[in-house]
Amino acid sequence: MKPTVHALLVEDNPGDAKLVEHYLDNPSVQAFLDEVKLTHVESLPAAEEALAADHYDVLLLDLGLPDSEGIETLCRASEVESDVPIIVLTGLEDTGVAVEAIQSGAQDYLPKGDLDGDRLVRALRYAIERHEQERALTRRNEQLDFFNSVLRHDMMNGFNIIMARADMLQNGLDDPEHVAHAENIHDWSVKITDLSEKVRSILDSVADDGDATLEPVELDPLVTAEAERVDAVTDRVDVDVDVPEGTTVLANDLFEDVVANLLTNAVEHSNATTSVHVSVDDGGPTVSLRVADDGPGVPPSDQADIFERGGKGDASTGTGFGLFFVSSMVESYGGSVRTEESDSGGAAFVLELPRA
């Protein structure tokens, strides 16, 4: 169903206003919109009164008005009503002004000399739809920020209390079975706290839209420390690290969890003893960190989707969160991740990371 659009035209030239009205009476309007109801005013104060008195879906704004000129007109109109998409109409054929208008919040910039009915109606429809998408995106980011706050404060505070009480029980109980139960409560609280921290980091990276705070991270000590940690946890994996000293990338303090996920991924997807080789290629425009194993590998049919939310191989019993976390964080650093076959026929995960 095509919508009816209520448009407010702010234009001090009667001839130009009549031309806009003529274009909007054209039968071509029906291809994009059911009807356009146009209200015409000649100044910004009159536009402010109209916007206060009624609802409008779009504002058609001439930049040259008696009381305002150029981009100042657009800025003043945006201050009057920030929740209505604005299409700039102007007699100027100036690309620089057009770019500045879009950067200042206009949905479109239409020179009057190039105007016709089809172009005007298309601009109306697309401006309204883009504005709705922007509002939905803003709403989504507000929701992400709210859930992030819940994770950061309410859940984390609750689990800190649970862990503290579990520690008290371990120290105060005599029955070995009860002590084991208390330890189990503590260990699971730690795991869920760690998971919550990773989810919070993903929410941060999504809500920030690529504006994550990054800092130089040296690969050699970080990868070595994570490899030693994995070696200490299980005897089913042998990690060999070949990372040159001084290799530094842009990341944040969650990058160690990214590396840990890739190292433990080889163990979780194989029942046999697994060898993992970590290497770096520092010769290109980015730094390539490669984590390769001699396990069962990733079938070609799974390689395209394995980093998606819930994505995992056919043989996996996990949730698919680990690799989604890896890809989300690496993308927030401005990098990328892919999987390929290792030299030994297993899986190789390659991270392309920005150089610090």
Residue 46: give its domain's CATH number.
3.40.50.2300
**b/e burial code for range 124-158 (CB count within 10 A of at least 16 → b):** bbebbeebeeeeeeeeeeeebeeebeebeeeebee
The whole domain housing 153 covers 140-207
Task: Say whether 271 sits in a helix, a strand or coil.
Answer: coil
Q: Which of 83, 111, 137 is the last residue of a domain?
A: 137
**Nearest alpha carbon to residue 249 among 344, 333, 189, 165:** 333
CA distance 249 to 354: 6
Q: Order across the sheet with 86-90: list the strands.
A: 35-41, 4-10, 58-62, 86-90, 108-111
pTM of the shown model: 0.51
| CATH code of residue 226 | 3.30.565.10
**9/122 same-domain check:** yes
CA distance 294 to 272: 10
Average the pLDDT over 197-205 and give the result. Answer: 70
**Partners of 266 in beta bridges:** none
Say if residue 209's pLDDT is above 60. no
Task: Say whether 159 sits in a helix, a strand or coil.
Answer: helix
Say if residue 315's pLDDT is above 70. no
Q: What percent of the chain is predicted at pLDDT more than 90?
A: 23
**219/349 same-domain check:** yes
**Partners of 4 in beta bridges:** 35
User: When comparing pLDDT for 97 and 335, which is higher?
Assistant: 335
**350/219 same-domain check:** yes
Q: Which of 137, 153, 181 is the last residue of a domain?
A: 137
Average the pLDDT over 131-139 and give the result. Answer: 81
**29/98 same-domain check:** yes
**269/189 same-domain check:** no
Listed ranges 20-34, 64-78, 237-251, 295-309; the one with the highest mean pLDDT: 237-251
**282/202 same-domain check:** no
How far does Cα 312 stand from its chain's mean position?
22
**H-type alpha helices, 38-175:** 44-53, 71-80, 95-103, 117-149, 156-172
Listed ranges 46-50, 149-153, 247-251; the one with the highest mean pLDDT: 247-251
**195/274 same-domain check:** no
Say if residue 314's pLDDT is above 50. no
- The reported pLDDT for the residue numbered 274 is 86
Q: What burial class does residue 192 get, using C-beta atoms within 10 Å of its C-beta: 0-12 exposed, 13-18 middle, 19+ buried? A: middle
What lies within 8 Å, CB to CB, of 89 at 6+ separation is 11, 16, 20, 60, 61, 62, 63, 110, 112, 115
Q: What percent of the chain is predicted at pLDDT more than 70?
A: 85
How far does Cα 354 stand from its chain's mean position?
18
Q: Are strands 68-69 and 274-281 parallel, antiparallel or unpaired?
A: unpaired
- The reported pLDDT for the residue numbered 244 is 93
**196/264 same-domain check:** no
What lies within 8 Å, CB to CB, of 282 at 6+ separation is 244, 247, 288
**174/268 same-domain check:** no
As for how many domains the chain has, the answer is 3
Average the pLDDT over 153-180 and give the result. Answer: 85
Least confident of 51-65, 171-185, 202-216, 335-349: 202-216
pLDDT confidence of 316, banded at 50, 70, 90? Answer: very low
**222/350 same-domain check:** yes
Q: Which of 116, 137, 158 is the last residue of a domain?
A: 137
- Residue pair 298/347 in contact (Cβ under 8 Å)? The answer is yes
- The reported pLDDT for the residue numbered 313 is 47
- The reported pLDDT for the residue numbered 196 is 76
**126/157 same-domain check:** no
Q: What is the mean pLDDT of the chain?
A: 82
Least confident of 102-116, 140-154, 208-222: 140-154
**161/72 same-domain check:** no
